[in-house]
A = this chain, B = another copy of it.
Amino acid sequence: MDARTYIAEHRGEFVAELREWLAIPSVSADPAHHGDVRRSAEWLARHLAAVGFAIVEIWETDGMPAVFAEWPAADPDAPTVVVYGHHDVQPADPAESWQTDPFDPVERGDRLIGRGASDDKGQVLFHSLGVRAGLAASGAAAPPVTLKLLVEGEEESGSPNFAGLLERYRDRLACDIVVISDTTMWAADTPSMCVGMRGMTDCRIDLYGPEVDLHSGSFGGAVPNPARAMADLLSDMHDAGGRVAVPGFYDDVAEISTEERELLAKLPFDEAEWLRTASSTATAGETGYSTLERIWVRPTAEINGMWSGHTGAGTKTIVPRSAHAKVSFRLVPDQEPLRIQERVRDYVEAALPEGVRADVRFSGPGVRACASDITSPAVRAARSAMGRAFGTEVLFTREGGSGPEADIADILDAPLVFVAVGLDDDRIHAPNEKVEIPLLLKGAESAAHLWEELAAALRC
């Protein structure tokens, strides 16, 4: 029986299992639901054991538990894969905005409505259906790769204990590749793989001039004004072409490949619709790059906030003593956040006029960008698996935002592949979250092919 047939025959059972799991309100951010998060982990552990995973463990943390499951390949030389997902969910408030009970999932046509349907229980569960479908198709007793699932319970609370968990179980999690199933595709009729996320580092810049606010009549025009120094500094941070003018900022930027650029251009991007979403009347940005390239593959410097002097009602004619700004930098491969921080410090120092001093404080070490090499065997294998499932060309996307994914790749020392079937309109983190059941089944079919494709690709 081929994988698609197996999956079609098990649709009812799959949806019933998912509904059962979704009915457990595993809201990690709400202490009142911490018992439910544990019940959710226990449900998943029982489920995976029943499916046939040889090892199933609940891994405790200082917070909510994760679930680990392993199904060793028959061949000891087969590659090892870690699949990452999470079993906790966002809070459901505002409750009154839900048209159905968020924790009593409802099927409406091809949709399943309930908290966690897309983010991320539905996407975790398609892996259990997928591995069974793969075995049904191959007739084997074990998958062609050693499959390890790691499903954490605190993702919606910022994963405070996750890096520690990875460090602690580094040996148990040893792998050749990490598959992330917690993102979206371009559209239901445009299957795609995310192949990168931007990194980020952000700082607060404080400029200090005269020690007190000065009367702008008595002193204005003859002393340095830190607000003006800040305006100069922030203005000069970009050149006329919209590039970040911090010296050395682009030194380590990996240019997007021609192949990826061509594939990005194939995405059916509607700029007018995008502008409506942005509630903006115009695009802006770095010359020579499209809107999608600007948000996905190019680094930025963005003023998130600034303040100085008199901000209240009425007139106060002062030369303010200080000026402040919050600036964040989205990073792309291979920019190192700590190196960028040094560049920014140097830039600020060099920009200071006489009589103005600066304090630059970064909020932390920053987050590195991550990207999958689209020519790598793993990405090719995953693209091929999804292509077989969807029956059409799989395109590439990236994410402009930043997440902890680079840390997973780092700690486990393995490249990332994103295989996911959520949609941007799934209303994750919002009321009335839903998932498209046919896409979850395509996800399962992709997973069924994925281990076979990966085993072949990584053995070469």
Contact = CB atoms under 8 A, between A and B. Distances in A.
A257 to B, nearest CB: 19
B227 A303 contact: yes
Contact of A212 (B200, B279, B323, B330): B279
A311 B323 CA distance: 11
- The secondary-structure label for the interface of chain A is loop
Contact of A303 (B303, B309, B401): B309
A128 interface: no
A305 interface: yes
A225 B294 CA distance: 14
Contacts of A217: 198, 200, 295, 330, 399-402
Nearest to A364: B315
Given A280-B355, A282-B354, A310-B305, A221 B300 contact: yes
A61 interface: no
Interface stretch (A229-237, A381-389, A405-413): A229-237
B318 A311 contact: no
Interface in A277-297: 278-286, 291, 294-295
A308 interface: yes
Contacts of A285: 221-223
Interface string A270-281: 000000001111
B306 A315 contact: no
A284 B216 contact: no
Contacts of A279: 210-212, 214
A190 to B, nearest CB: 18
Contacts of A231: 230-232, 234-235, 303, 306
B305 A218 contact: no
Contacts of A216: 300, 302, 304, 328, 330
B222 A284 contact: yes
Contacts of A223: 278, 280, 282-285
A306 B308 contact: yes
Contacts of A281: 354-355
Contacts of A99: none
- Most chain B beta-carbon contacts within 10 A, residue among A210, A223, A300: A223
Nearest to A297: B221
Interface of A: 198, 200, 202, 209-212, 214-225, 227-228, 230-232, 234-236, 238, 278-286, 291, 294-295, 298-300, 302-311, 314-320, 323-324, 326, 328, 330, 353-355, 363, 399-402
9 smallest beta-carbon distances between A and B, as pairs: A217-B401, A282-B355, A235-B235, A305-B309, A305-B310, A211-B279, A231-B234, A221-B300, A227-B303
19 contacts: A202-B315, A217-B295, A217-B330, A219-B295, A219-B400, A221-B285, A222-B295, A223-B278, A228-B303, A231-B232, A281-B355, A304-B315, A305-B309, A306-B308, A307-B311, A310-B326, A311-B324, A311-B326, A316-B326
